Structure 1
Amino acid sequence: MAGDLVDAAATDGVTKLGLGDAAILWRSHPSAIEGSLYRPLLCMVIQGAKEVMAGTHRVHCPAGHAIIVSHDLPVLSRITEASPDKPYAAFVLPIDLGLLRSFYDLVPDFDDGQQDMAALRSYPADAGLTGAVARFLELVRGDAAAALLGPILLREIHARLLVSAQGAILRRFLRRDDPSNHLARAIASIRSSINEPLSVSVLAAHAGMSKSSFHAHFKAVTGQTPGQYQKDVRLLEARRLIMESSDAISSVAFDVGYESPAQFSRDYSRKFGQSPREDRHRGRAGTRAAPGAA
C-alpha cells in the first residue's frame, strides 16, 4: 500500500481525497516540533514515523500504527522518519462522533473496566482496519463508484475503530454517564471562551463532578491540568492570528486572554522555541508547516 501512495505524491503537504474530510499527509523530511490542535481523529501512518505529545501523554507512531484522538487536544508533534526517497505518509480521517453514536446500540458489550482514559493513543493497526483504509484509498484513486462506495467504507472504518481493542476510549466517550463524555463539554467551554478567566469550580459543576474529581479526570484524559490546557489553546490560537493577520503582537495577546504582553511573549517563546515576532517573520518567509496537520 505504501509504495503506490508514495508514487502518487507530488509535493509535501495535505492532499484531500475528495470524500468527507479524509486526507493524506506527505512530508519528505523530518520536522521540527510543531504545535497544533487535534480534533477527534484517526491517523494511520503508512510510511515513516512521528511522535505526538499532549501534556504528559506521549506516543510514538511508526509505519503500520494508528493514532486515535478522542477529544480536542492541543499537541506538539514532529515527524521523526522521512526522506525524499521514503517520505512520511499518513492517512488522516476526522472522527465523526455522530456516526459513532449511531452505531452504539449495535456494539457488543465490552468489559472496558477502568482502562487508561488518555485521549491520545497509538497502537498497531489490526488487519480489519488496515484493509478498510487500503480499500478506501484504492477507491478514491479513480474508481467510478467512489461516490457511492466511499461513504460505505468510511462507515466501516468508523465501525472498526469502535469495536477494536484500542477503541475503549471511544466507547466510553459515547456513554452519557462516563466522565470522558462530561469532560468533552468542559473542553468545549474552555475552547469557546479562551479569553476569559478559567474557573475550575464552574467547569466541574457543569461536568457534574467535584472539583478534585474533575481535576483528576481532566488530567487523565488530556494529560494536562485545566489551566495548562487553556494556556496551550490560547497560544495555538495566538499563533494562528500571528500568522494570518497583521495585528500587533500585543493586540493578539489581549485577544486570547493575556493581561501582560510580556508574559505572553515568554510563554510563546517557551512553547514554540522563538518569540512571536520571530515566528511571524519566519512563517511568512515560508519556513513554517501548515498548522493542524496530523
Structure 2
Amino acid sequence: MKKELIQAAQDLIAPASADGVTALGVGEALLLRRSHPSAIEGSLYRPLVCLILQGAKDVQAGALSVHCPAGHAIIVSHDLPVLSRITEASPNAPYIAFVLPIDLGILRGFYDQTPDFADGNEPAGAIVSNPADPELICAVHRFLAMIRDDHAAPLLGPILLREIHARLLLSPHGAILRRFLRRDDPSNHLARAIGSIRGSIDQPLSVAALAERAGMSKSSFHVHFKAVTGLTPGQYQKDIRLLEARRLIVESDQAVSSVAFDVGYESPAQFSRDYARKFGRPPREDRKIERLALEASAAVGT
C-alpha cells in the first residue's frame, strides 16, 4: 500500500494517535484505526467495501472466512452477522481501514451501463477479500486527499463516491455485486428473505415462508442461503438475535431475562448459554466488563 495513501488517512484521524472510528463527513465513509490486535468481535456487516490500508484482519460468517491483509479490499453484498479479529496492528504501524457502506441505489443506476461479465450462475458467498485494483486504490486516495478541502469536498465528494462504486462494479472481484443486481439471480432474491429475518427477529422462523418470499423451493432456498451467507437460516437468525441482544446488554439496564424475550428467546437460561458461547462470557459478566472498559476509555480521553 502506498505510503502517501496511508499518510492521507492518518492526517484525517484527529488526534492522529486516536483509536476508533473517524467519520469523513461525505456520505457514510469512515476510517477505522486500531493500534493493537483485537479479540474476536461480533458485528453485523451491511453491504460495504473495506480497503485495508495497513495491518490485517480476519472475518468469518459461518462457513465463509476471509483473511484481509494490507492492500486487500473486502466486499460484502448482503447483511451478514460476522466474527472479526484484527490480527496485525501496533502503535508504530496501526491497523487502518477505509470503510464505505455500499449505496445499492448508486449501483443500480450504473448497472445498465456495466459491460457484460461471465460471472456464472453458481451461488456466490456474500463476502470476498482480494487484492484491490490499482484504479480503486487511486480513487480512494483522491477521495481522502480531497476531504480536507472545504470548498471541493461538497462538490467532488459525492462524485468520487460514485466513482468508487463504479470501480467496484468493474473490478474482477465485484462479481458478487453485479450478480446481486441481476433481478433473476438467487442472491438478489435472498436479500428479501434476509430482510424478513432482520425485521422480525423476535418471531419464530418459518423457512417455508422465507423460501416463498425468495421464490424458491425449501430445498433450493436452504442451499442458496448457506452458500451466500455461510449460515443456515436458523443459524443466521440466532446470530442476528445475539448481536441485537449484546447491544441491549451493553447499552441498556434491561434485565437479562427481558433482553432474552425481546430478541425472541423463550428460555432465559438457553439465551445465556448461547450468549456465552457466542461472546465468550455470560450476559451479566459481559455487561460489567464492557461498562468498565467504556469508563476506562472515557477516563483516558479526558
Task: Provide the TM-score with structure 2 as the length reference.
Answer: 0.93
Aligned equivalents of 2:243, 2:33: Cα separation in 1? 22
1:5 equivalent to 2:9? Answer yes
Cα RMSD (Å) = 1.4
Matched with 1:227 is: 234
What do the CA deviations read for 1:39-68 (whole angstroms, capped 9, x no partner)?
000000000000000000000101000000
Matched with 2:219 is: 212
1:63 equivalent to 2:70? Answer yes
TM-superposed deviation, 1:287:
5.6
Alignment of 1:146-165 (within 5 A): 146-165=153-172
Letter in 2 for 1:3: Q
Aligned equivalents of 2:109, 2:122: Cα separation in 1? 23
The question of whether the paired residues in 2 share the 8 Å contact of 1:115 and 1:168 is answered with no
Alignment of 1:110-129 (within 5 A): 110-114=117-121, 117-129=124-136
Match of 2:243 among 236, 260, 263: 236
Q: Can you give the 5+ residue segments of structure 2 that lack an aligned partner in the other structure?
A: 298-302
1:197 equivalent to 2:204? Answer yes
1:282 equivalent to 2:286? Answer no
**Pair 1:8–1:98, CA change in 2 (3 A):** closer
TM-superposed deviation, 1:2:
1.1
Aligned equivalents of 1:148, 1:96: Cα separation in 2? 18
| % identical aligned pairs | 72
Letter in 2 for 1:275: P
The question of whether the paired residues in 2 share the 8 Å contact of 1:186 and 1:206 is answered with yes
TM-superposed deviation, 1:7:
5.1
Q: Secondary structure at the match of 1:67?
A: strand
1:54 equivalent to 2:65? Answer no
Matched with 1:133 is: 140
Letter in 1 for 2:113: L
1:268 equivalent to 2:281? Answer no
TM-superposed deviation, 1:6:
3.0
Match of 2:191 among 172, 184, 187: 184
1:90 equivalent to 2:92? Answer no
TM-superposed deviation, 1:114:
3.2
What do the CA deviations read for 1:12-55 (whole angstroms, capped 9, x no partner)?
00000010000000001000000000000000000000000000
Aligned equivalents of 1:188, 1:4: Cα separation in 2? 37
Aligned equivalents of 1:31, 1:256: Cα separation in 2? 27
Q: Secondary structure at the match of 2:293?
A: coil
Most deviating of 113-122 and 178-187: 113-122
Aligned equivalents of 1:251, 1:127: Cα separation in 2? 50
Matched with 2:83 is: 76
Q: Secondary structure at the match of 1:89?
A: strand
Aligned equivalents of 1:155, 1:142: Cα separation in 2? 18
Aligned equivalents of 2:101, 2:23: Cα separation in 1? 12
Aligned equivalents of 1:214, 1:259: Cα separation in 2? 26
Most deviating of 143-152 and 108-117: 108-117
Task: Work out the number of aligned pairs and report it.
Answer: 289
Q: Which has the higher contact order (CA 8 A, sep 6+)?
A: 1
Q: Can you give the 5+ residue segments of structure 1 that lack an aligned partner in the other structure?
A: none
Aligned equivalents of 1:274, 1:180: Cα separation in 2? 34
